[in-house]
A and B are shown apart, each in its own frame.
Chain A
Amino acid sequence: MTVSHVDEDLLVHLGSVAAQVDPVPDLVLDLARLAWTTSALDAELLQLVEQTTGAPVGVRSTALQPRVLTFEGADIALDVQVEHVDGRVRLVGQVLPFPLAGGAVDVEQPDGTVVTARVDDLGGFRADGLDQRLLRIRVDLEGRRAFTTPWFAS
C-alpha cells in the first residue's frame, strides 16, 4: 500500500467520523433546498458597491450598529441604512434617481415573507419590524425591468 493510499484512507475515515459527529442538520438542508424559491431571474441584480458602519474608527463594529449599504445597477442606485430597534430590524433607504411615480419597494426575507414599503416623492422608503437575518430589497417599476439587491445580512 502506498503512502498516498494510507493518507486517502485516513481522510475518508475522518470524513465518515465527521459525518457522525458533526452532520449537516436537516434544517440546513431544507433551507438550502428552499433557497431555490428565491430565484429572481426576471430582475436586474444590483451590486453592493459600498458598506459603511457607524462605528468610530478603531472601535470594532458589531452587528447592532447601524450600517449603510449602497447598491448600484446600470442606471439606478439604492442606499439603505440597517438599524436595530427593539430586537427588530428597520431599513431606511432611498432609491435614486427619484422621483418614482407612486412606487413601492418589497423587502423580502428568505422564508418568503415580504414587507412592502411606500416610496415617497424623493425616493425614500422605510420598512420596520423585520425579523430575519437575511434581507433583500426588490423594486418593481412601471415600464422597466424590476431590480433587486443581493441578499444582505441584517
Chain B
Amino acid sequence: MTAIPLQRPADPARPVPTRRDGREPVTPLVRRAADGDQAAWDALVERYTNLVWSVARSYRLSSSDAADVVQTTWLRLVENLGSVHDPERLPGWLATTARRECLRVLRRGGRELVGVLDDTAYDVVDELAPTLDAAMLEHERDAALWACFGQLSERCQRLLRVLMAAEPPAYAQVSEAMGMPIGSIGPTRMRCLDRLREITSAAGYDFTSALEGSRP
C-alpha cells in the first residue's frame, strides 16, 4: 500500500487520548481511517452524517438530492483521506464540501427543486420541505416549534440547522462552510433564535420558560 502522509507509527507507550465523554477524539479516528481501519471510518460516519445531512437539508434539497450530497461528500472524504492535514477541522471540511455539492446540485437545476434560494418561496406550499407530520412528534408544541422554524428566513434556517446538528463545527469552520464572516455567526445565531421565539410566542408558545423545566 502506498504511504499515507497522515500515517504515524503506533506508539504503544502513548495511550489514545479520550475526551471527557469517553469518545475517541476525531484526530486519531481520521488517522486510523486513513490507515485502513473501517471501524474508525464507520465511527466518523456515525458521528458526522447528521451534520452533512443537516447542511444538505438546509439548502432545501429533496430527500433524494440530499442523499446524493451526503454520499458524494463522504466519497470525497475517502478520496482525500490521505491528505487531511488537520483532522480537527474535519467537521468544517465536511460542511464546506456538502455546501459545495449542494450548490452544484442547485446550479444544475431544474431537477426536483422548488423555490430554492428564494425567500419568497415560503409563501407557497413547499412539498419538498421536511414533511411535518405532527403524529411523529410526541408534543404538540414540538410540532409548533418546527412549523415556526420553517417561517424563519432561509439564512436563519441554514445557520441554525448547522448549529443544531449533533456534531456542529466550530464557528471558524461554520464561517468557512457557510460563507459567513466569523464575527457575524454569534450575533446572527442570537438574532435568529430571538426571531424564532417571537414567532413561537405569536403562535401562543413560550419556549423560554417551557424548556427550563426540561433541563437535566
Contact = CB atoms under 8 A, between A and B. Distances in A.
B53 A14 contact: no
Looking at chain B's contact residues, is the secondary structure mostly helix, strand, loop, or mixed?
helix
A10 interface: yes
A10 B4 contact: no
Contact of B41 (A18, A28, A31, A33): A33
Interface in B101-124: 104, 107-111
Interface of A: 1, 3, 6-7, 9-15, 17-22, 24-25, 27-29, 31-33, 35-36, 38-42, 45, 60-63, 110, 133-134, 150-151, 153
Task: Name the residue among B2, B72, B75 with the largest chain A CB count within 10 angstroms.
Answer: B75
Interface residues of B, number: 62
9 closest A-B pairs by CB: A15-B164, A22-B130, A35-B74, A32-B45, A32-B74, A24-B53, A36-B41, A31-B71, A14-B164
A-side binding surface: helix, strand, loop or mixed?
helix
A12 B75 contact: no
A17 B161 CA distance: 11
Contacts of A25: 63, 67
Interface in B1-35: 1-2, 4, 33
B68 A133 contact: yes
A38 B81 CA distance: 12
Given A15-B166, A42-B2, 18 more contacts: A9-B214, A11-B164, A13-B145, A18-B161, A20-B142, A21-B133, A29-B46, A29-B49, A31-B70, A33-B45, A35-B75, A39-B78, A40-B79, A45-B79, A62-B110, A63-B108, A133-B68, A151-B72
B207 A10 contact: yes
B177 interface: no
Nearest to B130: A22
B57 interface: yes
Contacts of A33: 41-42, 45
A133 to B, nearest CB: 6
A40 B212 CA distance: 50
Contact of B38 (A24, A36, A40): A36
A63 B110 contact: yes
A133 B49 CA distance: 20
Residue among A28, A31, A42 with the highest chain B CB neighbour number at 10 A: A28
A36 B78 CA distance: 6
B73 to A, nearest CB: 8
A15 B81 contact: no
A62 B82 contact: no
A31 B89 CA distance: 23
Contacts of A3: 190
A145 to B, nearest CB: 8
A22 B78 contact: no
B50 interface: yes
